[in-house]
Structure 1
């Protein structure tokens, strides 16, 4: 003996089926948003799942609505993201304090992801005694003389030293280093672009596929067919739907 299914029960069954339907594409349509930073591919973080971007480009949002990115175990503040030119402005938190209180640590940006913008250059700072006479220098009250050079091979035997990115207009030939100007420059950060990644993704767009990355190093580009939630629904639930509507035919 069959008992007719009420319309409310049928609605509940169908709603439950659709409600739990995973929609991979919608997860990647979400944007990362934090303060004044909005970002999409190739980044992930926040509401964007890891498979929606490059494994190393996770954006994080702190309680102060500041965006950060960890590169080679070094934290960088993300000051600006330009999704049109695929560039971003980064600043090292440890370089935002008084220059004379800094700890000299080096960080290398992975060349397979980032390129330094042509508007910026790398300079090297040295902590040496006695003062290096042929370089611009400044004497800090506690740690002593600091010298700077635009040539990383200058005085490479003088330790500790570290490199920082500054605008190409930054002068390294002055006899006395303008420490106030240096601190202002470091606070504004530097610009990098992600042309390496985006050029690698062009092959996917040519084949009308979406661009993804291997989860393991060296995180090579992997083209994937565009996901169709409706198709996935039909594949996984066709059998159930057939039985469900057969029951409706019997009961009615």
Structure 2
């Protein structure tokens, strides 16, 4: 009698392995699949958490890190505030991540400091908008300290913003006060009169992200994709092949590969022995 295949294993057990293991492990969770897609735009390739946008839904990233790309520009826009900024560079290996940003318009814009932290080379500049023209007649504002900008797109109404010195703030009535980041050296040039307000606001500056890289590293090591909870966007989530976990994959997501590998080794062993 010739050798029997898998003599030590019942036939129904072998059949169950081949029938139910693929159905248990095959077919990745759609959330895992979506968050496996990288964000590509211009010079940037394979951007992942905390960034999202285009084919990456919000739950694949973190609020405040939405990127937009029209397929033409070299650099994507990042919707930190309105108007959005431009992402010029990123060091994803830095802890925390370091990003280089630029404004799209010379308008006073601030940062969401719950998501970003200005680099040590950045200082805050205070500007005033929606000021009373009648009060401005009492204060001489040099053209270099005044700008016109449209904050709501081309259809928005243009309004001017001013940089006021300490002795001028009580003389001018303004409705808005905006504190925004600019490079330290740019502010020094502005104060010395070698750079106007528009040029100061359009200088590139660096910020640090405040994402929880420890959770993300644990998630990636377990085979998952980093993201945020769809029901609670401020909370971290790890999207795995089988389902969502709080921090790292477990259960079927970790066992499927081991099962398939074990079956393959067993089959090869039996074939070699027989």
Matching residue of 1:68? 77
Note closer, same or farther for the CA distance 1:205–1:229 as it changes in structure 2 (3 Å cut).
closer
Matching residue of 1:56? 64
Cα distance in 1 between the residues matched to 2:147 and 2:218: 59
Cα distance in 2 between the residues matched to 1:45 and 1:59: 5
* SS at structure 1 position matched to 2:211: helix
Matching residue of 1:167? 183
1:134-160 deviation per Cα after TM superposition (whole angstroms, max 9, x unaligned): x987366999x9753688x98276415
Within 5 Å, which residues of 2 pair with 1:36-47? Answer: 36-38=43-45, 39-47=47-55
Cα distance in 2 between the residues matched to 1:80 and 1:36: 9
Within 5 Å, which residues of 2 pair with 1:24-173? Answer: 25=32, 27-38=34-45, 39-65=47-73, 66-85=75-94, 86-95=97-106, 107-126=109-128, 129-130=136-137, 138=144, 147-148=162-163, 155=169, 158-159=173-174, 160-169=176-185, 170-171=187-188, 172-173=190-191
Matching residue of 1:202? 214
* SS at structure 1 position matched to 2:79: strand
CA RMSD of aligned residues (A): 4.5
Cα contact 1:123–1:149 (8 A) shared by 2 = no
Cα contact 1:122–1:150 (8 A) shared by 2 = no
- Offset at residue 203 of structure 1 (A): 5.2
* SS at structure 1 position matched to 2:84: strand
Matching residue of 2:229? 214
Higher relative contact order (CA 8 A, sep 6+): 2
* SS at structure 2 position matched to 1:63: coil
In structure 2, stretches of 5+ residues that fail to align are 1-22, 149-157, 238-245, 259-274
- Offset at residue 46 of structure 1 (A): 3.6
Note closer, same or farther for the CA distance 1:214–1:72 as it changes in structure 2 (3 Å cut).
farther
Cα distance in 2 between the residues matched to 1:146 and 1:225: 48
Cα contact 2:63–2:233 (8 A) shared by 1 = no
* SS at structure 2 position matched to 1:51: helix
Using structure 1 for the length normalisation, give the TM-score: 0.59
Cα contact 1:120–1:165 (8 A) shared by 2 = yes
